[in-house]
Chain A
Amino acid sequence: MTAPLLALDGVTVGYGLLPVLHDVSLQIRSGEIVCLIGANGAGKTTTMMTICGRPRVSHGQVVFDGTDISQHPTHEIARLGICQSPEGRRIFARMTVMENLQMGAIVANTPDGFESDLARVFALFPRLADRSNQRGGTLSGGEQQMLAIARALMGRPKLLLLDEPSLGLAPLVVKQIFEAIKELNAQGLTVFLVEQNAFYALKLANRGYVMVNGRITMTGTGDELLASEHVREAYLDGATGPEEEVSIS
């Protein structure tokens, strides 16, 4: 078996003295979509941010492409090709959509590739093309989410980190974004996804992890987790809605 693209090995991390993640290990292989699900406050965002060096691990390793990056500065981790669409979207509010995308392109470091990358994300999210001269702060929530993902894609990521891309969005937009993720993955992009919307996420993912209070308690393929009694009870409560919706489509 080939070495994983990203591996967390026994990672313990916290804010100040309070540990939030305890001995977390997980692997993401090239070409996979892996998703992490868990309740509010479980530590999903912390896991995403730890990969990028904020906060720093106190024990364990984060290995990307064979190197331990746990002590690398955040901007160097980004330059290795780990691009994140973070929780809360973090759009540069006083920059235009175009400038936000230019910010994303910094890590791609291919001035010649900019135009073609731009055409690609505009094809994915045509809304952004119409809004390209508008300030980020004036976009709607859904448009900002699209922009956050597009910005991450402009960096030509080797690994794309998506923290709750569906948060607060209309079902139609969620569907659109999930389709986009699937399409990108089909083109070879590796994706690590955090979602509240566990049903969709597990449907989409090759594999998933379940996090409870900062520990990984369960792992398996997306279908295995979907079938698990525990996961159904804890995370898919009332999920008959989306299930029906999907079975229709």
Chain B
Amino acid sequence: MAYFLQQLINGVTLGSIYGLIAIGYTMVYGIIGMINFAHGDVFMVGAFIALIAFLALTTIGITAVPLALLLVLIIAMVLTAVWGWTVERVAYRPLRESFRLAPLITAIGMSIVLQNFIQIAQGARVKPLQPIVTGGYELFHQGSFSVIVSNIQILIVATTVLVMGAFWLLINRTELGRAQRACEQDRLMAALSGVDVDRTISLTFVLGAGLAAVAGLLYLLYYGVIDFFIGFVVGIKAFTAAVFGGIGSIPGAMLGGLIIGLIETFWSAYFTIEYKDVAAFSMLAIVLIFFPTGLLGRPEVEKV
């Protein structure tokens, strides 16, 4: 029981990070029907920006942990959003009216460009960050095994809940969010209603990148090391999460992230760690057989 609870805590933590990234995949798919394969790498760039920001803040003497975290969060979100915006502007927008596979190909190209750029600029070796958020609480113990929830886990889940809540309000309660949803449903009608569709698509990339930056920061704090390749590995998981939950659905992405995080953690804990990815992808295949559009996805055909 204690072991199970511990894995649950670990799984939810990992799932939070996947969920934050999955939203970026799902939103871009929702609005322009394209899989943004570079999104995982935008997350990786976010993690690097966070790392550099930490080092820079330490150099200028800002070491109070809450303040440093807040500043790094803001810096990472803003700068990563600029990257997300640039990727869309440079690689996707010029091909908007092109054949369907074109943006997919540039997305893969963009992913390689970002990976190689970081590899050259930052080096190929893993980059460590000294632990910043330490400590935790022992919930209880059973025999020699104690269930621990660490402060970093609390921080990750709390930040995720907060950020997702704010994001939810933005999408569902503001004019900006309404315009975003309108473009998702009918771009031509949105334009006829006075919405600048290109600007809204840019905004979608900016929001997705901002959330990926939060995930990048949390990942960095949790694992303490990053390298130029994490975007690929984590990105594929988050993409799987988006498909699992129903690509195009924002609640689906959150739910999918959580489930993938849990499957991975529990599989590693009870079976073999080597096959944790196989477990996640197999579950995806099974779910897609019974729910072809994912758990919370909507069927393509609608009554109009």
Contacts and interface: CB of A to CB of B under 8 A. Distances in A.
Interface of A: 52, 54, 73-75, 78-79, 83-84, 86, 88-95, 99, 102-104, 106-107, 137-138, 151, 155
Interface stretch (B135-143, B180-188, B208-216): B180-188
Contact of A54 (B186, B188, B304): B188
A24 to B, nearest CB: 20
A117 to B, nearest CB: 14
A13 to B, nearest CB: 16
A162 to B, nearest CB: 13
A107 B193 contact: yes
Nearest to A106: B194
Contact of B197 (A52, A75, A106): A75
Contacts of A52: 191-192
Interface in B186-233: 186, 188-197
Interface in B254-304: 298, 302-304
A199 B189 CA distance: 29
Given A92-B182, A92-B186, A95-B178, A104 B193 contact: yes
Nearest to B200: A75
26 contacts: A54-B191, A74-B191, A75-B191, A75-B193, A75-B195, A75-B196, A78-B194, A79-B194, A84-B192, A88-B304, A90-B186, A90-B188, A90-B192, A93-B185, A94-B185, A95-B182, A99-B178, A103-B182, A103-B195, A106-B175, A106-B193, A107-B193, A137-B302, A137-B303, A137-B304, A155-B194
B148 to A, nearest CB: 43
Give chain B's interface secondary structure class. helix
A153 to B, nearest CB: 12
A74 B193 CA distance: 9
A138 to B, nearest CB: 8
Contacts of A90: 186, 188-189, 192
A176 B175 CA distance: 32
A107 B194 contact: yes
B299 to A, nearest CB: 12
Nearest to A151: B193
Given A54-B188, A99-B178, A102-B175, A93 B304 contact: yes
